[in-house]
Amino acid sequence: MKKTYIGMFAATALASTVTFAQAPGKVKVGLMLPATGTYAALGTAIENGFRLYVDEQGGKLGGREIEFVKLDDESDPSKATDNAKKLIKRDNVDVLVGTVHSGVAMAMAKVAKDTGTLLIVPNAGADAVTGPMCAQNIFRSSFSNWQPGFAMGEAAAKKGYKKAVTITWKYAAGQESINGFKEAFEKNGGKVTDDLQVPFPNVEFQALLTQIAASKPDVVYTFFAGGGAVKFVKDYASSGLKATIPLVGAGFLTDGTLDAQGADAEGIQTTLHYADSLGTPRDNAFRLAYAKAFKSQPDVYAVQGYDAAQMLGIGLTAVNGDVSKKAEFAAALEKAKIDSPRGAFTLSKAHNPIQDIYLRQVSGKENKVVGIASKALADPARGCRM
């Protein structure tokens, strides 16, 4: 009898020691986002969204307090590998969260894969991150570049457009967005006749707008975001093209940008996994909390940051705060339904959201939902072996 009692006591003591050893202090989150340049506002919205969710949980995820280490990645791929390594080796972060720019994100994914560090991508759509570079410890709360592009390709063909010209920045995000559009548009009977590009992050569009006017397509599809999207939409209108050739795009073209674009954005249709007029209780609560905390309206980037924190919370809860348990962390996310303001979503085997892509139209200061362009759209995850 006595022996059993001692045995039970020892087992309890051991269990609590182990629990304590697994969750001793804070979880360090390395926020690697742009704080300067054309994507600076996007970085702020992502960070705001992330912090909002953590604050709603009382500052803790999976029982552990969250501590942030911040780094401005400047949307510069040439500095990305060193920056990611700095966060891991110098600052000892447990989790990397970043970033906006696809080129920077691909470098982060390589470092995450090599070091086994958890990575949650809260924007960058680089197809490779959940394609050839997919890994057990890499997750995305946002989209693949292919997703909104593909959805708009189908929507544009359905509208009866036959000839399209595309225009974007010459880097992974732009090229992959155009590829997604072209794949669906041409499969459905359309033809992309010109693929115009400017170097990132240039905003000298005049020569290319002249070319568009000369080739007279039925529609122009574009990928621009942040400061560049503001400039492009304004230039498109002032060139006179807005009155003659419809401009469509991946929804970043008009997200977080409408205050600056004003009337020049009115009526533009885009495809994206979020909109300003969802009207669901979940989204209404999120928008109210965000507006209260940050005195500004949330956008798609804020949602993606919020959901990155939700995903970290789901993983950390499953492993009781022990970030070394990568397999259990991944298993929890792979079966999770993430309660996003955009609408609930699940993750594909490659860890990319399977989600509805909305067709939206700018009306005043909002991207209003016109319909669902593509229901539960999954990225094909080409090249992912996991």
By CB under 6 A, name the binding residues for ligand PHB. Answer: 39, 100-102, 123-126, 145, 173, 225, 252
Residue (123 or 374) nearer to ligand PHB, CB: 123
Q: Are 31 and 71 in contact (CB under 8 A)?
A: yes
Pairwise CA distance, residues 113 & 187, whole Å: 35
Residue (41 or 333) nearer to ligand PHB, CB: 41
Work out how close the CB of 271 gets to ligand PHB at its nearest, in angstroms, rounded to a whole number.
13
- Residue 244 makes CB contacts below 8 A (sequence gap 6+) with none
Work out how close the CB of 11 gets to ligand PHB at its nearest, in angstroms, rounded to a whole number.
50
Work out how close the CB of 102 gets to ligand PHB at its nearest, in angstroms, rounded to a whole number.
3
Strand intervals (E) in 73-180: 95-97, 118-121, 138-140, 163-169
Would you state the structure tokens that stand for residue 23, as one six-digit string?
């969750």
CA dihedral 303, 304, 306, 309 (to 10 degrees): 170
Residue (37 or 62) nearer to ligand PHB, CB: 37
Residue (91 or 259) nearer to ligand PHB, CB: 259
Work out how close the CB of 335 gets to ligand PHB at its nearest, in angstroms, rounded to a whole number.
27
Residue (123 or 271) nearer to ligand PHB, CB: 123
Residue (33 or 309) nearer to ligand PHB, CB: 33
Per the omega criterion (within 30 degrees of 0), is the bond before 281 cis?
no
Work out how close the CB of 333 gets to ligand PHB at its nearest, in angstroms, rounded to a whole number.
21
Place of tokens 């958890």: 118
In three-state secondary structure terms, 58 is: coil
Pairwise CA distance, residues 144 & 30, whole Å: 22
Q: Are 348 and 289 in contact (CB under 8 A)?
A: no
User: Residue 358: which of 177, 144, 152 has the closest Cα?
Assistant: 152
Residue nearest to ligand PHB (CB): 225
Work out how close the CB of 256 gets to ligand PHB at its nearest, in angstroms, rounded to a whole number.
8
Pairwise CA distance, residues 77 & 171, whole Å: 11
Pairwise CA distance, residues 380 & 91, whole Å: 35
Residue (89 or 170) nearer to ligand PHB, CB: 170
Work out how close the CB of 22 gets to ligand PHB at its nearest, in angstroms, rounded to a whole number.
35
Residue (122 or 313) nearer to ligand PHB, CB: 122
Work out how close the CB of 151 gets to ligand PHB at its nearest, in angstroms, rounded to a whole number.
14
Strand intervals (E) in 2-117: 27-33, 60-61, 64-72, 95-97
Work out how close the CB of 225 gets to ligand PHB at its nearest, in angstroms, rounded to a whole number.
3
Residue (100 or 248) nearer to ligand PHB, CB: 100
Pairwise CA distance, residues 386 & 372, whole Å: 30
Q: Are 70 and 5 in contact (CB under 8 A)?
A: no
Cα Rg of the chain, angstroms: 22
